[in-house]
A and B are shown apart, each in its own frame.
Chain A
Amino acid sequence: MAERERDAAPEREAVVRVAATDKWVMHRREATMPDGRRITYYTFQPVACDGERADGADER
């Protein structure tokens, strides 16, 4: 039973940049709960006033 989701296993626990607006950058972090279920945390990092992302990446 080859499932596509299993191919993505190495990315789990990694923080992935998903989207950005002129206000924030959205990141996704996947983790495994103690009973084996999946949980995904989404965070939104504000964009610095000079147009650069607060994480240092230039989104322009």
Chain B
Amino acid sequence: MSELRWHPVLREWVITATHRQERTFLPPPDYCPLCPTKPGGFATEVAEPTYEIVAFDNRFPSLRRDAPEPAVEPTPFSPVRRAQGVCEVILYTPEHSGSLTSRSVDDIEKLIYVWTDRFQQLSALEYVKYVFIFENKGQVIGVTIDHPHGQIYAYPFIPPMAARELESARLHHQEHGSCLFCDLLAHELADGRRIVAVNESFAAVIPFYARYPYEVHVTSRRHLGALPDLTAEEKRDLAGILKTLLLKYDNLWGISMPYMMVMHPRPSDGGAYDYYHFHIEFYPPHRTRDKLKYLAGSESGAGVFINDTLAELKAEELRAAAPATDGEGRLVDVLPG
């Protein structure tokens, strides 16, 4: 059972999805539902003996293509809507072990083409207003299946975070006649202290205002709104900088770094958002190798993040992690695979 309930105080939608309480929780590797179906073995989600990259509708979705009518009546203060949308799972590889980090640059490039196609396919659905591609990595994030995978939520509304970014970008463009994200990136590249990596098409930066210690934003150097706007060369460069960043994360402390990776594209509601700028944000929850950053009272109850670190120092640490980058973010180590 799932529906959208309006939060009249925060003015945002809350999705109820009670069936998700029953979802698969950390199955043993021999019973991974995301591996291919072995001949004579139990039936997994993928009824093929192998695959390259697969996208499928989540078995325990928050949003459904054929969402039922709400099971509850709205209150005078809280409208209720069908939870119509799409929740997809993207399998990066048939191999159970590893992560996106362990995929080659070529493999990540292929995944970018798949993300692009999924963005276009889901954006074409009339009830979809925003396509959100993301990955939760690591059990500390709440991942319930270890097989390397990401997700896509195709929402029937523009989510609050995107709406706030859009409004900031719109106001900046109105006031300055330029793109907020282009201006921020130009400032970061000129300053240099918070750069983690750069290539011809993308820059990875811990922003001046980072909320998480190792929060990195990967921003296209050319002004564009979403994955379909990328050229072939830019897709290749995105694969390269993602590989670089992911390796740095893992090499920082010699662990497979957990993170949330979220893509922020323009909405898919048919509106004009030329002032907005596509980027990807990473939020690793670790503040040290053995300590996590929790979203506690101030963050959850007041919406005020407290970052115990300085972006300039954390960027320096990530630049030094292999593959090392110099003060301008250029690779000085050879990038593996």
Contacts and interface: CB of A to CB of B under 8 A. Distances in A.
Q: How large is the interface on B (under 10, 10 to 19, 20 to 34, 35 or more residues)?
A: 20 to 34
Interface in B14-55: 45-48, 51-55
Contacts of A34: 47
Given A39-B46, A41-B48, A19 B117 contact: yes
Contacts of A41: 48, 51-52, 54
Contact of B56 (A19, A24, A40): A40
Nearest to B55: A40
A37 B55 CA distance: 11
Given A3-B126, A3-B127, A21-B232, A37 B56 contact: yes
A36 B314 CA distance: 47
Interface string B93-123: 0000000000000100110011011100100
Contacts of B48: 41
B287 interface: no
B53 A42 contact: yes
A6 B113 CA distance: 24
Q: Is the interface of A mostly helix, strand, loop or mixed?
A: strand
A16 to B, nearest CB: 10
B110 A44 contact: yes
A4 to B, nearest CB: 5
A28 B118 CA distance: 10
Given A18-B113, A23-B106, A37 B52 contact: no
Interface of A: 3-5, 18-19, 21, 23-24, 26, 28, 33-35, 37-44
Given A34-B47, A42-B114, 9 more contacts: A3-B65, A3-B126, A5-B124, A28-B117, A33-B45, A37-B56, A39-B55, A39-B57, A41-B51
29 contacts: A3-B65, A3-B125, A3-B127, A5-B65, A18-B113, A19-B116, A21-B109, A23-B106, A24-B110, A26-B110, A26-B114, A26-B117, A33-B45, A33-B57, A38-B65, A39-B55, A39-B56, A40-B54, A40-B55, A40-B56, A41-B48, A42-B54, A42-B55, A42-B113, A42-B114, A42-B117, A43-B52, A44-B52, A44-B110
